[in-house]
């Protein structure tokens, strides 16, 4: 069920997108990490009505990694949803969502399409050794402790080694990293927001 606030946002979005036309769509924008099930970016920008229903659904029951893109992300992206692991990790796979994926279920337009939870790959983590407490000689490895995916972060001595072929982009390590500024950021992986299943033809 879409809320009144979501409906108003959707109406505003529906007005703004055609008014904005080609000129705004052509303005530069960042690549952001999209919610689970987000379709290919160009089409996503066409059919996402910026209603915020996925963001509201994500916040229910104490989750809340999604937020609307703002001007710094680029005018064409304003109001569309993005993952911000500094708010909270995405719980789609190993946490409070319990495979229910309320963000996808709440999307009224198909900008988010159902994806099996074990196929989700939101992006990848990017490590900056020069900011990492462990790499600089301190004691840490918090990232390896919180990562829910076996083999995605393997400690080598005191240093974390990241295996991006296994990372699903949940952002848990980014959220927990105690370095200031953080030694980890979550980056998009291009158009593919899915993990290839063995034997999958997708
Ligand atoms: S992805 Fe779907 S639910 Fe989220 S803002 Fe866009 S249209 Fe609304
Ligand atoms: S490396 Fe970080 S982002 Fe990747 S799966 Fe592990 S905790 Fe999640
Ligand atoms: S949590 Fe951050 S500071 Fe600690 S080892 Fe991992 S990347 Fe380095």
Backbone φ and ψ of 153, nearest 5°: -130, 120
- Residue 6 CB less than 6 A away from ligand 1: no
Q: How much is the pTM?
A: 0.84
pLDDT at 61 over 60: yes
- Residue 123 Cα to ligand 3 midpoint, Å, equals 18
- Residue 153 CB less than 6 A away from ligand 3: no
Residue bearing the CA closest to ligand 1, atom 6: 48
Residue bearing the CA closest to ligand 2, atom 7: 147
Strands 159-162 and 153-156: antiparallel
The three-point CA angle 123-51-38 to 5° equals: 25
Taken in order 178, 181, 183, 185, the sign of the CA dihedral is positive
More confident residue, 171 or 7: 171
The predicted-structure confidence for 11-32, as pLDDT tens digits, reads as follows: 555 555 555 555 677 777 889 9
Do 82 and 99 touch, CB atoms closer than 8 A? no
Q: Domains (ranges, CATH) in the chain? A: 4-118 (no CATH), 121-187 (3.30.70.20)
Return the residue matching tokens 């379709």: 39
d(CA 162, CA 126): 9
At 192, the pLDDT band (50, 70, 90 cuts) reads low
Do 58 and 64 touch, CB atoms closer than 8 A? yes
d(CA 56, CA 85): 16
Helix (H, G, I), strand (E, B) or coil at 23: helix
d(CA 106, CA 52): 9
pLDDT score, position 193: 59
pLDDT at 201 over 70: no
Do 155 and 144 touch, CB atoms closer than 8 A? yes
- Residue 140 CB less than 6 A away from ligand 3: yes
Q: Which of 157, 171, 165 minimizes the C-alpha distance to 89? A: 171
- Residue 83 Cα to ligand 3 midpoint, Å, equals 20
Tokens of 15: 């007005």
* Probe target for ligand 3 pocket from 137, 139, 184, with the most ligand atoms within 8 Å of CB: 184
pLDDT at 191 over 80: no
- Residue 54 CB less than 6 A away from ligand 1: yes
At 75, the pLDDT band (50, 70, 90 cuts) reads very high
The predicted-structure confidence for 78-132, as pLDDT tens digits, reads as follows: 999 999 999 999 988 777 787 789 999 999 999 999 988 888 889 999 999 999 9
d(CA 92, CA 31): 21
With residue 187 as reference, give the H or E element that holds it: strand 184-187
The closest ligand to the CA of 139 turns out to be 3
Least confident of 3-12, 16-25, 39-48: 3-12
State the greatest distance between any 2 C-alpha atoms of the chain, in Å, as a whole number: 56
Q: Which of 87, 19, 3, 17 minimizes the C-alpha distance to 49? A: 17
At 199, the pLDDT band (50, 70, 90 cuts) reads very low
pLDDT at 145 over 50: yes
């Amino acid at each position: 069920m879409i809320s009144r606030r979501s409906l108003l946002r959707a109406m505003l979005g529906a007005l703004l997108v055609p008014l904005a036309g080609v000129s705004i769509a052509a303005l530069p924008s960042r690549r952001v990490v999209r919610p689970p099930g987000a379709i290919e970016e160009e089409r996503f920008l066409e059919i996402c009505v910026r209603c915020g229903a996925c963001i509201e659904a994500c916040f229910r029951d104490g989750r809340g990694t999604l937020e609307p893109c703002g001007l710094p992300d680029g005018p064409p992206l304003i109001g569309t949803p993005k993952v911000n692991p500094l708010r909270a990790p995405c719980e789609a796979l190993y946490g409070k969502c319990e495979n229910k994926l309320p963000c996808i279920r709440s999307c009224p337009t198909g900008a988010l399409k159902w994806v099996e939870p074990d196929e989700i790959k939101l992006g990848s983590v990017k490590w900056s050794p020069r900011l990492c407490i462990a790499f600089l000689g301190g004691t840490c490895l918090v990232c390896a402790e919180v990562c829910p995916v076996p083999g995605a972060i393997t400690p080598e001595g005191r240093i974390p080694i990241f295996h991006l072929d296994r990372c699903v982009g949940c952002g848990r390590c980014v959220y927990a990293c105690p370095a200031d500024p953080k030694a980890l950021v979550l980056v998009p992986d291009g158009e593919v927001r899915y993990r290839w299943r063995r034997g999958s033809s997708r």
